[in-house]
Structure 1
């Protein structure tokens, strides 16, 4: 099943697409798909309601697709988690996970425009597997324990402005990661037990031309290891998003031009769906 949020910005409503492809309204179970819903066995409740046949079929024709999780408290990101991407960035694979943060308000819908900050010249795409946390993760004992705290997975675009990230960074990456709209997410949240996170093909295109084509099997640090590692340094809360890194094929490599006003990005991960954004210059 696929959890979705559909509707205008700030007024999204919760839905589920069942295994037969029918879209069903979740209003009888929750007002939204957020951390509180996930922590209260939200996914289990949806499954039980589907099995009981109590969720009405919905017609969402024409509705905007929102991010599949509402109001995450944190967006935690992993840098250089694919060896080939580290190499194209001029670095060796890290010995420990590289961690940085994005402002939660970077999260937008999978088809919303990506807005370039005034003066930005080096905006880049990054297709990533996103982990959505379903239960508090605090000092987990082992990577296997991480399996119990993951609610599901989604497609993420960790949009980056490389000049801000590297040249104007002051030693930290977040200046290049936190502009409004710099994290399209979705279209769906797929429950964790329906996905093998280390066996997913992930791809990106710009203006119809292939940029990235890789597999999560190539991660330096697998998903369960990452969540276990993060729990040693911070408490992950239900609804938090963890971006797990991007494979090779970004503009930072020097092989492709950076994004420009009017460009179209398309990103796709097996089983998790596809997203598409138009790049626009932000108006002040």
Structure 2
């Protein structure tokens, strides 16, 4: 018995549906595969550097009755934290230990309009920022460093690469990265990926730090930010350079 015209028509419809489904799958797979191939082809060269052996002696805070439950310091009621109006006292990176005196903790004040310009060193966060000041030990007592000018007066002159690194980190709120690796899933925007390091210049030092652009919605880019530090303590950010994006953060929104 010969197949009927209706059988042929049904077969054609089924074939069309299968071809359409295959086309949709290909359209979904090909861009992802192409992006992965681009990531492999554009994989940058990684330049690694060893971090300096720095540390911060926090014993003056402990002698004032404060205890550390990382990353927060808890101090007695009426102690330094309350005296300075800090919402929280946060521990700092050991990489700030190149300064003398070194910051012992970050005094964070939060709020949309908490502090006027010149009354804090830098701010962090997005819609609800935290304003950063530092606690230091000087002449046997604790004191608060309110702004960049006070920090500069304590730190200058900047005479070593370690001091330059600590000063750039303390003044700018950027990050030092020494544990980078090449991830084939990342979207790279550079041919060379360098870790944090310090170069000596005619005026002082150039420190390579990093900034994650996390405010708002993705994609979020990690930037390299060169920071010029003079021997007199002047500090200036140079033009940020985009480095890479992590696709896992593409749908992340941060307020």
TM-score range (shorter-chain normalised) is under 0.3
Q: Which has the higher contact order (CA 8 A, sep 6+)?
A: 1
Task: Report which of the two structures shows the higher radius of gyration computed on alpha carbons.
Answer: 2
TM superposition score normalised by structure 1: 0.25
Could you say which structure has the higher helix fraction? Answer: 2
